[in-house]
Amino acid sequence: MKCVDDFRLRLGQHELVPIVIGGMGVDISTAELALEAARLGGIGHISDAMVPTVADRRFKTRFVKDKLQQYKYNVANEDKSDVQFDLALLAEATQMHVGRTMEAKRGGGLIFINCMEKLTMNAPKETLRVRLRSALDAGIDGITLAAGLHLGSFALMEDHPRFRDVKLGIIVSSLRALQLFLKKSARTGRLPDFVVVEGPLAGGHLGFGMDWAKFDLAAIVAEIRLWLAAEKLAIPLIPAGGIFTGGDATTFLENGAAAVQVATRFTVARECGLPDEVKQEYFKANEDDIEVNGISPTGYPMRMLKSSPAIGSGIRPNCEAYGYLLDANGNCQYIQAYNREIAVHPDEKKIRVWDKTCLCTHMRNFDLWTCGHYTYRLKDTTRRLPDDSYALLSAEHIFNDYRYSKGDAIALPERG
């Protein structure tokens, strides 16, 4: 019986362990987690979601405080169109986060950044251009284009000196999305170096509607693989979503995948950015504690624990400090939902908003517990401690379990 370690992912001149830890914003996939993946010979992701606040935490900078100060006059205003990102500061924050991570890299693996197009930041094209190009400037090994169709993203980088040598990939959930992307970016004369095919069991935002349960990752991967072969396009495919064991990963590799992308198993790693008490919530979760709902103002369904404090929270929108979900006209679905509730309950001190959430604030504060479908199996991946809590795992342990375990086996951590 084979295991993941019998395979290698070839990307240009790199030969890698075919395990990719997926991007998890906001700083759930920390630099420490990504660095471990790279040290062990695989690929790790940091995320470019809300990098100024991530930089503030990591480097004691003041990007968020200063922005809030600048727009303080607007906090009580329903109209958020004034609130803009300073592009030079956005570049500085991105270069710090990426640059310091790349300086710390050891081992033969790679570090990529996960870039969510759906963070429209009140100036979608301008801010995306800065985020992508600053990551290239700071030496990132690769960029994974996520959440959004990214039809113009290659063009935003095409005159950058690193455009042809950096590894560029895209996450899709259907053949149609891939075809659209390839058609639109053909003009740049560059194919993606890899395609992550994300199925309906993944964490974070889903590339499916609320009928996600009708879809099957293996079937989508097979369809894309056949089409690429017919088009004579040799682009490595990396399935993601619900690949929980080394055995699951091996099955995909045996069926022609170049690598696998995984995330949920790593949410309970010590190096993961979630607070330890939240990691215990992930361990404790049962299958019926998890739901896919429509509260994300991006409009994409999102999977999360039903006990997430973000659900039903009626917090005042924090666009002056954050403002990542503001569209090109300064609107966000949460602002609309919040203002509606305020109008209905003008005298209430604390309102509740159920249909949308302030994604920026709650992701920033780790109060929206997004997770993969198989989060309820995490309890089977560790031991209980004398106080009944679950032992956190090292990223190395989880990585090696994926790498070497066969069949349904999951290696438990050493006792003590």
Ligand X SMILES: Cc1cc2nc3c(=O)[nH]c(=O)nc-3n(C[C@H](O)[C@H](O)[C@H](O)COP(=O)(O)O)c2cc1C
Closest CB to ligand X among 134 and 261? 261
Residue 175 CB, shortest distance to ligand X, in Å, is 18
Q: Distance between the two ends of the chain, CA-based, in angstroms?
A: 31
Residue 282 CB, shortest distance to ligand X, in Å, is 9
Contacts to ligand X by CB under 6 A: 22-25, 28, 47, 49, 114, 116, 146-147, 171, 198, 201-204, 240-243, 261-264, 267, 370-372, 374
Give the HSE-up count for residue 294: Cα atoms under 13 Å, Cβ half-sphere. Answer: 9
| Cα 340 from chain centre | 30
Which residues, in sequence order, are bridge partners of residue 172?
Answer: 197
Question: What token pair was written down for 89?
Answer: 């500061």
Closest CB to ligand X among 198 and 320? 198
CB of 42 closer than 8 Å to CB of 20: yes
Closest CB to ligand X among 42 and 241? 241
Question: What token pair was written down for 69?
Answer: 């100060």
Quote the CA–CA distance of 150 and 49 in Å, as a whole number.
Answer: 15
Quote the CA–CA distance of 282 and 274 in Å, as a whole number.
Answer: 10
Closest CB to ligand X among 55 and 202? 202
Residue 36 CB, shortest distance to ligand X, in Å, is 16
H-state helical runs in 329-394: 333-344, 359-364
Quote the CA–CA distance of 59 and 401 in Å, as a whole number.
Answer: 32
Closest CB to ligand X among 157 and 269? 269
CA angle 323, 153, 274 (to 5 degrees): 45
Give the HSE-up count for residue 314: Cα atoms under 13 Å, Cβ half-sphere. Answer: 16
Distance set, CA 310 to CA 85, 92, 276, 334 (Å): 25, 30, 18, 12
Quote the CA–CA distance of 301 and 291 in Å, as a whole number.
Answer: 10
Q: Which helix (H) or strand (E) holds 89?
A: helix 87-103
Closest CB to ligand X among 68 and 93? 93
Closest CB to ligand X among 68 and 168? 168
Residue 272 CB, shortest distance to ligand X, in Å, is 8
Residue 21 CB, shortest distance to ligand X, in Å, is 8
Closest CB to ligand X among 202 and 237? 202
Residue 264 CB, shortest distance to ligand X, in Å, is 3
Residue 13 CB, shortest distance to ligand X, in Å, is 25
Quote the CA–CA distance of 3 and 229 in Å, as a whole number.
Answer: 25
Residue 190 CB, shortest distance to ligand X, in Å, is 21
